[in-house]
Structure 1
Amino acid sequence: MPQLSLNELHLIADRIFTNESGGDPNKLVHWNEGEDFASMGVGHFTWYPAGRRQSFGNTFPDMLGYLQTNGVQLPIWLQQARYQGAPWRSKAELMRAKQTGQVQDLQNMLYQTRMLQAAYIVERARRAMPQLVSTAPQHSRVRVAQNLNAIANTPGGWYALVDYVNFKGEGLNISGGYKGQNWGLLQVLEEMQPVQPGQQALHSFADAATRVLERRVRNSPPARNEARWLAGWSNRINTYRYPGV
């Protein structure tokens, strides 16, 4: 897997910040409508309140650990909340708390550490790569490995891989998701036809990601009305075709 230059990391950080928050610092501490967890930082890392079922993973505590490892001093309340869970139980509760100095300081810290957060996202994707191949069903391992290498060795491909992992996860629980069908990076690589490095690999990746997320919506509980998110998901996926990264 190629190493990223500092310039590529900057571009990926900016692109993910735009994808998740529209580049708006006020959305670095956020709670999306219809979700049961807070969305934190440039990657909108998931953060569940204590005791709540973590249906979509809980990535913010791990990211905070990465910041600490890299020398960021977290306030005492945040160090404690990292282990206990998000201190707000609803969007309304968080919106009220955003007027406090505590949450304003958190938002400022998340803005100042954007590059470290991007480095965490890249590291998370890099750690997952060997697992993507070893976790894939035996019959699709060669295809997954070939497609992963094709994307990783195409200019801009790292952005597509890293952003999708941050966006919809690795997909390593192959029976997870809805009706036993997951929608992470592994499932996208399986969905693709075998490709070689180059522009077509990016188109193939985006097409496969679209099909995987359309399947997710079909499998989802009707009460969640996930179809409302498809247009936005599609817009994000289309940035993988000509990433400019």
Structure 2
Amino acid sequence: MKAKAVMALAAIASIGLSACSPSSQAIRSSGNGAMSQGNGVGSTQNTFTMNNPAAQSTSYYSSQNLQRPRQYTGNDMPELSSVELQVIGDQIFKNEGGGDISKLVHWNDGEDFASMGIGHFTWYPAGRNARFGSTFPELLSYMQSRGVQVPAWLPREGSPWRSKGELMQAKNTPQVQELQHFLYQTRLLQVQFIVDRTRRAMPKLVNNTPDQLRPHVINNLNAVANTPGGWYALIDYTNFKGEGLSRSGGYNGQNWGLLQVLEDMRPSRPGEQALHEFADAAMRVLERRVRNSPPANNERRWLAGWSSRVNTYRRLLV
């Protein structure tokens, strides 16, 4: 990463992510459903090219015994610098919890699971149907695989609180305070977890797309990924509403993940317009979710907040 780019990114860290390397990787859709590396030459109709910022260590929490995250040079997604990770993490923390440390251990109104960390990773009580996935246990396993010592009292079979009321009553206990402190200390590792989840999804997005839509999805993925600020949009939406890989998921068989946004997005080229098209498509997909949702859920009440979050994807950063 060039020094000027790092300085510029640090100066606008409260805004979002800037891609800043001219080098690239390419992913092509192969006939057998696997992903193979290409050379970035040719039509975007069959090649997914990606900016590839220089890799840097992201382990600087002195209170944790962290191993250096492995370097990714494979066919999914570039390694991001510690500055870029910090930018993305700060924005996701702001999106999910307003940057409030007390919201690192939280339970949203109208939900049947607790929300943990900067990404409000879902944590269902034991025995409850985890309809939207239980990502907090995945995060804990991810941390432990990197040498992090998680609070010893944390149960692995599910959240110890079965309702928002139970969690609110426990808010000031030493255990919850310890958990909040732990989640604040490990913010950078949490965003690395989100980035790695998005990385793993990239080949699947293409391979889970019907043949007739595949060139459209690849083109739009290229357009967003190769626009400054685009990686933030892809990463945050994946954390926000998932990959959307299940064709039978969602309401009325219509999912609302990243894949659905890329499918609904109008054809775009890299640049500011790609960010606007991505944000517009994201809102159309989320509004469709609300229309398909059971009326008793009253999901319309969330649209204003979702719109504010999606609008952060529109920023062209330099």
For Structure 1 versus Structure 2, the TM-score category normalised by the shorter chain is: over 0.9
TM-superposition CA deviations, 1:33-70 (whole Å, max 9, x none): 00000000000000000111111111111111111112
Q: Describe the SS at the equivalent of 2:122.
A: strand
- Amino acid in structure 2 at the alignment position of 1:23: G
Match for 2:190 among 117, 137, 152?
117
The structure having more radius of gyration, on CA atoms, is: 2
Of 69-78 and 87-96, deviating more is 69-78
* Matching residue of 1:134: 207
SS at match of 2:269: coil
Q: What is residue 98 of structure 2 aligned with on the other side?
A: 22
Partner residue, 2:261: 188
* Cα shift readout 1:123-142 (whole Å, capped 9, x = no counterpart): 10011000000011222111
Q: Secondary structure at the match of 1:138?
A: coil
Residue of structure 2 in register with 1:168 after alignment: 241
Q: Which runs of 5+ in 1 are unaligned?
A: none
Which letter does structure 2 place at the counterpart of 1:114? R
TM-score when normalising by structure 2: 0.75
> Within 1, Cα distance between the matches of 2:296 and 2:202?
34
Alignment of 1:1-245 (within 5 A): 1=50, 2=52, 3=78, 4-78=80-154, 81-82=155-156, 84-242=157-315, 244=317
Alignment RMSD (CA, Å): 1.1
2:153 alignment partner, SS class = helix
Q: Which runs of 5+ in 2 are unaligned?
A: 1-49, 53-77
**Count of matched residue pairs:** 242
Larger helix percent:
1
Q: Deviations over 1:89-131 (max 9, x none)?
A: 0000011111210111011000000000011101100110000
Answer whether contact 2:151 2:178 (CA < 8 A) is retained: no
Distance (whole Å) between structure 1 residues aligned to residue 228 and residue 143 of structure 2: 28
TM-score by length of 1: 0.96
Note if contact 1:128-1:170 (Cα within 8 Å) is conserved in structure 2: yes
Distance in structure 2 (CA, Å) of the matches to 1:101 and 1:175: 42
The SS at the match of 1:137 is coil
TM-fit CA distance, 1:243: 5.8
1:223 deviates by: 0.1
Q: Is the 8 A contact 1:159 1:243 kept in 2?
A: no
Identity level (%): 70
Q: Displacement of 1:244 after TM fit?
A: 3.9
Q: Secondary structure at the match of 1:139?
A: coil
Any idea what SS the aligned residue of 1:77 has?
Answer: coil
Does the CA contact (< 8 Å) of 1:164 and 1:185 recur in 2? yes
Alpha-carbon distance in structure 2 between the residues aligned to 1:62 and 1:243:
32
